[in-house]
Structure 1
Amino acid sequence: MNLSFTCKHFDELSLKELYDSMVLRQEIFVVEQNCAFLDADGKDQVAYHCFGYDTDGQLHAYTRLLDKGIAYPEYASIGRVVTSAASRGGGWGRKLMEYSIEQLYATFGQQAIKIGAQAYLEKFYGSLGFVQCGEGYLEDGIPHIPMLKN
């Protein structure tokens, strides 16, 4: 499988891209992870959205980029990090995050990035330069840790 990455502001999204991102987010965060939460949190409209589509037009990877002051008062953020079940194990999560970090810097400038990582992914995010920067917490019943990349 080969994925092609793009990044667009909310106002530039096609209806297909918006729909695909909502389906993938719900498929993984709500159904697979069994979390009932309001995914449409009002931040999508001010975000940039990164997509990883295969050659058949199927979305396999997605993130949402937020400027400083939206998710965290002093930091930009990458959130809603998700890969489809079909694409896991192929290194696409790493490629997605590398692309997302690059796009965040290109869009908002070189700066620190804060994320709320699922705790079991600490080593993965650590390999990308993120370090834990606070106490762990539960979000929707899933252990998370705050992480920062300077």
Structure 2
Amino acid sequence: MASYDWTWHTGPELDPGKLYALLSLRVAVFVVEQQCPYQELDGHDLHASTHHLRVLTKHHLAATLRLKVPEERDKPVSIGRVVIDPDHRGNGLGHDLLQAALMRIESLWPGRNAALSAQAHLQSFYDRHGFAPMGDVYLEDGIPHIAMQRNADQQEK
């Protein structure tokens, strides 16, 4: 099993190489692998209120996700752009990745809920981490999604 280096960066802390690597992985999976042309560059990656988790092996980026933190304290922290390189899937990295995000939210923004827009086929994955659906399945860029939220007081299942 690969050894991983887990690092968090706010948007302004991403140098061009780090930003390029995470954008490259996201495009490789979301646009190319999933055959879903959409505008990946959404203007949020470099904001100070955006936090990126980068999971690296010795040679490359294995996984990443992004947290967007609204200024309004009553709004949930958004977990998004959760992506794992195909060579690193199937070994529990996704669960570890999501757990790291939840720990970060709990540590830096205690009492804040977490929200995400999950691809519908991954709903049971997020269910296991305490997320509940917040409505019906909808299409986003041609792929079925569902809004989900995890309340701050929700225990892991």
Q: Scaled by the length of structure 2, what TM-score is found?
A: 0.88
Out of 66, 69, 76, the position equivalent to 2:68 is 66
SS in 1 for 2:35: coil
Q: Percent identity?
A: 35
Partners of 1:76 and 1:112 within 8 A in 2: yes
Q: Give the CA deviation at 1:69.
A: 5.6
Q: Give, as a single letter, the amino acid of the residue that structure 1 aligns with 2:67.
A: L
SS of the aligned residue for 1:41 comes to coil
- CA distance in 2 between counterparts of 1:4 and 1:127 reads 25
Offset of residue 102 of structure 1: 1.2
Q: Quick check: 1:69–1:76 contact (8 Å CA) kept in 2?
A: no
Query: What is the DSSP-based 3-state SS (H/G/I as helix, E as strand, rest coil) of the residue aligned with 1:44?
Result: coil
Deviations 1:30-78 (A, max 9, x none): 000111111111111221110100123x1011000011369xx822110
Q: Distance in 1 between matches of 2:23 and 2:127?
A: 27
| 1:81 has 2:82 as partner | yes
**Matched residue pairs, number?**
147
Q: Counterparts in 2 of 1:85-124, with a 5 A limit?
A: 85-124=86-125
**Consecutive unaligned residues in structure 1, runs of 5 or more:** none
Paired letter, 2:39 = L
AA aligned to 1:80 is R
Pick the aligned partner of 1:52 from 51, 55, 72.
55
Structure 2: any 5+ residue segments left out of the alignment?
Answer: 152-157
The 8 Å contact of residues 61 and 84 in structure 1, kept in 2 or not, is answered as yes
Match of 2:141 in 1: 140
Aligned to 2:11: 10
- More divergent stretch after superposition (119-128 vs 95-104): 95-104
Aligned Cα RMSD in Å? 1.5
> TM-score scaled by structure 1?
0.92
1:147 maps to amino acid: M
Between 126-135 and 98-107, report the one with greater CA deviation: 98-107
